[in-house]
Chains A and B, each alone.
Chain A
Amino acid sequence: MTRTDLPVVQLLERLDLALYESRDGRLLGDAPDWLTELAPEASKGSLEFDDDALPILGDFLGQARRFWQDGARGRLRSGPFVETDARGRGHALEATALRIDGRSLLLIERLGEDYELAVANLQTARENLLVQEELERIVARRTADLREREEELVYRLIRAANLRDNETGAHIRRIGLYSAALARALGWPAATVDDIRLASPMHDLGKVGIPDRILLKPGRLSEDEMAVMRGHTSLGAGILEDSRVPAVRMAAQIAAGHHEWWNGEGYPRGLAAEDIPECARIVAIVDVYDAMCHARSYKPAFPEDRVLDYLRERRARQFDPRLLDVFFERLPEMRRIRELHPDEGMDTAG
């Protein structure tokens, strides 16, 4: 059989297709029953569709005409759609505009059972997606609950530890918030930002191991006493290290490294520059900023400009210069944190 012998009309009938040729708006073959039910006038052979009867097909025909005029290659497909007949019954169709040997053709296919099957599959898939979304929401909520409990435990333990050196609960929260703000500004991932918010308040946890006679001594410490006091960094790291919890592992690095200096003159290990974990370099800045801006029983609050001068003087000596620059860029945010979380009954820097 040659190409010209193809029984096109019978083929269209067998496949339940309607085929129009654009040149004379001719319907090739007889109109299928479904086309007659949808739009009797369309079945008479005219390539014009009443927008009320066949609104989607009419809309697609406009796009098809532009496609033919442009002489585009390939084909333009409508995707599946449903047209409703006068009796309110939906007919699932798909139209394709194409050009073959210079002839502009519009093929309309009734999807029938294939459409019903596709809808059923889509329905199942989407119901599964909804269940998945709900499960993800439950997991996220429970994770947040667990995180909240972890935080509460951490804050209560630190409050207990700080009872000995009169550190305030507001200071603890502020350190977490400043550190998170700085980490966020540095582009840390959200989960790690959350970790430092929880970890940084534990930086002085090792003070629980410092004897009262040294921790609470008024006046200057002797060299020996100072050496014991400096041990709070290693003590804190010892309490926190080897945890499976990322925030606690980070807290160990912060406890060990927040008194290290950028130039290597800090303690306990004399680490320098980027050998000091970034989390510890962040806390080194915000701890000094907050401690100097707020009054304690043994000292008044310093004016903020004096605190900022102090930080600047120690840029690239005590503090990481890049982090300090970002800290200064974010100063308005740091000030907002101070305003929102003041020490109760304490003077603060203006």
Chain B
Amino acid sequence: MIRTKVCMLGSFAVGKTSLVRRFVHSLFGDRYLSTLGARVDKKSLVIDGTKIDLMLWDLAGKDDYQSVRPTHLRGASGCLLVMDSTREHSVDVALELHQLMLDTIDQVSFVVAINKCDLVDEWRLSDRQLEQLRALGGPIFRTSALTGDEVENAFAALARQILASKPPGEDGDPS
């Protein structure tokens, strides 16, 4: 069994908490509730016969008032980089946080989640922004915490990457 720390990173109100709630509890609440600081949920997956416990660190989103604390990122094996398909600015913030993640953590796996994709008519991301996201090199998922679309797949892809990055025989919390 492997236990690993995964951080949810993104601007405020992009749906990080909602993605965790959907993934862990199969629930969705349509009211936006701010996260202050950090909160952890746990979800176990079995990937190719290996059990992996994801400790999901739901971190406060970055905004004009607060930034992500590097102390919260340390020891993470993976990050879910979340943005809101209806807010262009959330991509810029995600790109900044991707850099913070690289500066803070050695050898980190990540996937990109473009969230709120159920709001098809409100899509605002430009082709240039999508190109910037592709250039990061991680898999990109178009998720919806409301409908559940691609949520499991995004977390499973991250878990798979984390497992693939571990030397054979290693288990336990990598932090």
Contacts and interface: CB of A to CB of B under 8 A. Distances in A.
Interface of A: 51-52, 55-56, 59-60, 62-63, 76-84, 90, 92, 94, 115, 118-119, 122-123, 125-127, 129-130, 133, 137
B129 to A, nearest CB: 15
A60 B75 contact: no
Interface string B60-76: 00011110010110110
- What range describes how many residues of B lie at the interface? 20 to 34
A76 B36 contact: no
5 contacts: A52-B42, A55-B55, A62-B175, A125-B63, A126-B34
Nearest to A62: B175
B40 A55 contact: yes
Contacts of B87: 133
Interface of B: 3, 5, 12-13, 32-34, 36-40, 42, 55, 57, 63-66, 69, 71-72, 74-75, 87, 89, 124, 173, 175
A22 to B, nearest CB: 18
Given A90-B39, A119-B34, A63 B71 contact: yes
B65 A119 contact: no
List of 9 A-B pairs having minimum Cβ-Cβ separation, nearest first: A80-B37, A81-B38, A82-B39, A55-B40, A123-B34, A81-B37, A122-B34, A79-B69, A119-B36
Contact of A126 (B39, B63, B69, B72): B63
Nearest to B12: A126
Contact of B75 (A59, A84, A123, A130): A59
A123 B33 contact: yes
Majority secondary structure of chain A interface residues (helix, strand, loop or mixed): helix
Contacts of B42: 52, 55
Majority secondary structure of chain B interface residues (helix, strand, loop or mixed): loop
Residue among A63, A81, A115 facing the most chain B CB atoms (10 A cut-off): A81
Contacts of B69: 79
Contact of B36 (A59, A77, A80, A137): A80
Contacts of A123: 33-34
Contacts of A59: 5, 75, 175
Residue among B71, B87, B89 facing the most chain A CB atoms (10 A cut-off): B71
B63 A56 contact: no
Nearest to B40: A55
Contacts of B32: 126-127, 130
Nearest to B72: A79
Contacts of B13: 126, 130
A237 B110 CA distance: 57
Given A51-B173, A52-B42, A133-B87, A79 B71 contact: yes
B36 A60 contact: no
A121 to B, nearest CB: 9
Contact of B71 (A78, A82, A119): A78
Given A55-B40, A82-B37, A129-B12, A60 B71 contact: yes
Given A127-B32, A133-B87, A82 B38 contact: yes
A56 B40 contact: yes
